[in-house]
Amino acid sequence: MKKLSNIKIWISILTIPWMACQPDLLETIPNDRISKEIFWQTLGDAEFAANAVYPTLDGTGIFSYDGLTDHLLTNHPFNANVELQRGFGTIASGRYFNEWQDAYQAIRRANDFMDNIDQVAEDDQDAINRLKGEVMTLRAYHYIKLAMLFGDVPLITTGLDIETGRSVTRDPVNEIWDFVSTELNQAADWLPYQNGSRIGKGAALGLRARAMLYAGRYAEAASTAKTIMDSQEYALYPDYFEMFQYEGENNQEVILAREFAADVNSHNIYATAAPWSQIPGSTGSLYVPTQSMIDLYPMANGLPITDPQSGYDPQQPMENRDPRLYQSVFISERTPLPDGGIYGSTPGTDGSDAVQITVYSTATGYNIRKYVDEEDYTNPSNSGLNIILMRYAEILLTYAEAKIELGEIDQTVYDAINEVRQRESVNLPPVTTEMAPTANELRAFVRAERSVELAFEGFRLFDIRRWQLAEQVMPGVPMGRFYEEDDEWKQIRLDGFDRSFDPARDYLWPIPQRERELNTNLTQNAGY
């Protein structure tokens, strides 16, 4: 034992000077995670880092934006959306915090990529620029939402340490729009239109057109939309209903989508949207259409139901309507269900989804049909349907709206609107100068068209804000379908669920209290 101890001592004595000559011997690279010392070496590393930003795109949450408006009712009384829809949101509301946190987590991932991408030793600069363009587009996507929800927000474009993060301030919203515009222009220069399943030039330009429309920069919105239109890279898909089913995935109209796959990267949009009867053992019907949304669908002759010449019959309100109504909404006694039955919501009957048949059945008598694919019936929480975030129809309507706001109403405006209305499966008569002879009437026409064409796709919350219509359409009791009972015509009223909207406060969400506790430099929006 003594001899062994002596050997240990001698080894220690000999090792000390050797270690002194290698001061970095104990500075080892972690082997339990990827570190910067071994990452950012190859193009593959860069692609992995870019891939990490893609999951931050919206998925099934698109419904929740419309669920805060007059077009969808949040059907579950204890859902967090309800307090916001009723005007009871506070600085501590979880929905506000989650939106802020999710956006800035996404931006942090993007910033980390942009801070490190130039370390990659790669001769293929086009490939590096392509990945930069993808990540810049994703970062801009989140800044667009932040600007619309909160107004002035911190513009952060590089990684921050904790202390710096506690001192950032809000930048004026116009600077956010400037950044988004410049960022997406550069991204578009670097991206090809066709980029496989990844973000391409169309998504960058399309988001720029959307952002400039939201910002009221109509000339830029119109010119950017026109660039996409002139590229002829996209076209309307002929079947409106099929576009939101497995059969229509990755069609020529889709510009940007969040991609999913059953069993691998699935979601529960079927369980969220489908009628209660089609989701055994689950809740379903989280968001349901209101009558105010249904009333926006014109007649099959193209005229609004409010037009005396439209032929609308209040006693048969679902007859001869825009085909998109039947393709987007479950209508009682006429829409087939995934299980082979017929949707039935008439109160007081034994229909499949009669109002008040359960606490989870539709409260308005309608259900969302978009994204409800019968293939998901047997496993409703394992849907692999891609969620469309931008499609060519939006670009056409952006162009038309921007040109109207510029006072540049010409045949191209009518052509853009009519291309959407005359999709093969819709085929409404064209809008003419006789139908909308003034700028105000054409503006109303395109707004209604946008609401119908993009129904339940997450646009309504942002539209009623920029159109300054929220105080007109939000307050009051939500209304549901009409039905006949004891030879009397009745309408569902959701008394006790009065919505409210304070225009002095509610056009912007509050900066979450948790963020302001961490950073006292963040000022608060008015009214909170």
Q: Which residue has the tokens 């499949």?
A: 352
CA angle centred on 312, ends 306 and 314, rounded to 5°: 95
- Read off the tokens for 77: 């009384």
pLDDT above 80 (res 194): yes
pLDDT above 60 (res 18): no
Identify the weakest region by mean pLDDT among 85-94, 330-339, 454-463: 85-94
Nearest to 325 by CA among 300, 362, 361: 300
Specify the pLDDT at position 193: 93
SS3 helix, strand, coil % of the chain, rounded to 5? 45, 10, 50
Identify the weakest region by mean pLDDT among 69-78, 179-188, 363-372: 69-78
- The CA-to-CA distance between both ends of the chain, in Å, stands at 76
333: CB partners within 8 A, 6+ apart:
342, 343, 344, 346, 351
Consecutive H or E run containing 186: helix 173-190
Identify the weakest region by mean pLDDT among 137-141, 291-295, 354-358, 507-511: 354-358
Quick check: 413 and 436 in contact, CB under 8 A? no
441: CB partners within 8 A, 6+ apart:
435
Quick check: 425 and 240 in contact, CB under 8 A? yes
Calpha distance 475→36 (Å, rounded) = 53
Quick check: 395 and 209 in contact, CB under 8 A? yes
Nearest to 477 by CA among 292, 298, 318, 346: 292
| Alpha carbon separation from 300 to 248, 332, 407, 504 (Å, rounded) | 24, 19, 29, 39
Specify the pLDDT at position 85: 82
Query: Which tens digits make up the pLDDT trace of 272-287?
Result: 899 999 987 677 889 9
Consecutive H or E run containing 110: helix 94-116
Give the 3-state secondary structure of residue 188: helix
Query: Which tens digits make up the pLDDT trace of 220-233?
Result: 999 999 999 999 99
Calpha distance 277→14 (Å, rounded) = 79
| Alpha carbon separation from 364 to 46, 128, 329, 460 (Å, rounded) | 49, 51, 12, 19
Quick check: 396 and 419 in contact, CB under 8 A? yes
223: CB partners within 8 A, 6+ apart:
none
Identify the weakest region by mean pLDDT among 23-37, 247-261, 282-296, 498-512: 23-37
Calpha distance 365→353 (Å, rounded) = 8
Specify the pLDDT at position 19: 44
Consecutive H or E run containing 8: helix 2-20
The confidence band for 33, taking pLDDT boundaries of 50, 70 and 90, is low
Q: What is the mean pLDDT of residues 309-329?
A: 96
CA of residue 232 relative to chain centroid, distance: 25
CA angle centred on 89, ends 87 and 94, rounded to 5°: 145
